[in-house]
A and B are shown apart, each in its own frame.
Chain A
Amino acid sequence: EAGVVQSPRYKIIEKKQPVAFWCNPISGHNTLYWYLQNLGQGPELLIRYENEEAVDDSQLPKDRFSAERLKGVDSTLKIQPAELGDSAVYLCASSPGHSYEQYFGPGTRLTVT
């Protein structure tokens, strides 16, 4: 069974540019998560989806970050405009439900110059 797929794996952009990350969860997993991981830290949740609905987005900086999960499968996370402090690894995870273990993708390493 395929795991969580993310693309791109690496992205380098200049500040003030937009960037988008894509995630395809494990088939059948209704719950999808986006996490941010800074160097030397544990991941922190940005947003959680139950099917198409964003049910926990209190940690998402909505002035520059947006996310969508059309049709309750794939998801896209966008930053516009990017700032130097956004340099981090963006992780996508999925699970069969909110109380189950989460399976993580390989992440997208973003560098903002």
Chain B
Amino acid sequence: AQKVTQAQTEISVVEKEDVTLDCVYETRDTTYYLFWYKQPPSGELVFLIRRNSFDEQNEISGRYSWNFQKSTSSFNFTITASQVVDSAVYFCALSPDRGSTLGRLYFGRGTQLTVWP
């Protein structure tokens, strides 16, 4: 069974603060992909990152960074120097790379991030 847990339902920060969104996953598969998506108030899900289960290298893209730790089944997302435009619901997702549910995205319940000016 696949499961993604985002324990933080809501986070509020003030602009320029750093914020980390937690994601913990469960899977019995040895190969899988992990994703983060952003859903702003407009409603459209925006792809942020895709990570292969064999690649534990951390990644940085501008103010965004991701920390993948297979040992703790976590794939955390950090926004540095947050901005008001970062306000959105952020979803972590897992996709098996084999089996009947190959390619299916299993989403967490999302974390609502609010950045105040």
A interface residues with partner B (beta carbon < 8 Å): 31, 33, 35, 40-45, 48, 56, 58, 89, 91, 93, 95, 97-107, 109
Contact = CB atoms under 8 A, between A and B. Distances in A.
B100 interface: yes
B44 interface: yes
Given A42-B107, A44-B107, A98 B102 contact: yes
B35 A101 contact: yes
Contacts of A105: 44
B104 interface: yes
Interface of B: 4, 33, 35, 37, 42-47, 50, 91, 93, 95, 97, 100-105, 107-110
A100 B105 contact: no
B50 A42 contact: no
A29 to B, nearest CB: 12
A48 B4 CA distance: 20
A56 B44 contact: no
A102 B43 contact: no
B45 A104 contact: yes
B104 to A, nearest CB: 5
Contacts of A45: 104-105
Given A40-B109, A106-B42, 17 more contacts: A42-B4, A42-B91, A42-B107, A48-B103, A56-B100, A56-B102, A56-B103, A58-B100, A95-B103, A99-B95, A99-B103, A101-B50, A103-B47, A104-B37, A104-B45, A104-B46, A107-B43
